[in-house]
Amino acid sequence: MVIDRKELKTAARLQIKGNVGTFFGLSIVFLIISGLSLPITVVGPLILQGPLELGLALFMIEVVRTQRGKFNTGFKGFKQFGSAFIALLLMKIFVFLWSLLFYIPGIIARLRYSMTYYIIADNPDISGGEAIGKSKEMMKGHKWELFVLLLSFFWWYVLCIITFGLASIYVSPYINAALVNYYEKLKSESIIENCQN
């Protein structure tokens, strides 16, 4: 299956209409939560990062599938706290170990595990380790493709830099929606392959 980047990005721009403000609000609240947890314990932000990232994944999946993301959806990641935390911990360990070989293996590892939170979002009973395994399987033959998709946002990244992050209010949900659309394509491809087998 050939992934059409233009199609993914066009869909993303349409899907985030009316959802940019909610995404921004969630991001600010999550930053505050992480910041407040830091004085309590140094590892506070690390403990919370997994559920918070899963919450954003759940929110963006809702945006893509229903065109309207709800603010409270962003906090549903805490319902799967265990799997989200373990997934984050394992990914950090694996990426760190691969990065020891050189920077490029670390990037490849990040791409390999990139679908983990979406998989957890769609499979509430899955463990963090299993989700990472499924992400690795899903990304076989697609890592370069995803890298090029992310690279296609280059000028948006530049805009974020020259506006001191202000443009990220729009750019961040835009990129995240494109990634969810990419996940949906990969998932449908996996379903077709499983049926053929």
Render pLDDT for 142-189 as a digit per residue (tens, 0 to 9): 999 999 999 999 999 999 999 998 999 999 999 999 999 999 999 987
User: Which residues have CB under 8 Å from 28's CB, separation 6+?
Assistant: none
Q: What is the pLDDT of residues 20-75, one digit of tens each?
A: 999 999 999 988 887 776 655 556 667 888 999 999 999 999 999 999 999 999 99
Q: How far apart are CA 104 and CA 152, in angstroms?
A: 19
Q: What CA–CA distances, in Å, run from 53 to 50, 79, 118, 187, 197?
A: 5, 13, 10, 20, 33
Q: What is the pLDDT of residues 100-131, one digit of tens each?
A: 877 888 899 999 999 999 999 999 999 999 99
Picking from 190, 175, 193, the residue whose alpha carbon sits closest to that of residue 11 is 175
Q: How far apart are CA 98 and CA 104, in angstroms?
A: 9
Tokens, residue 31: 């930053």
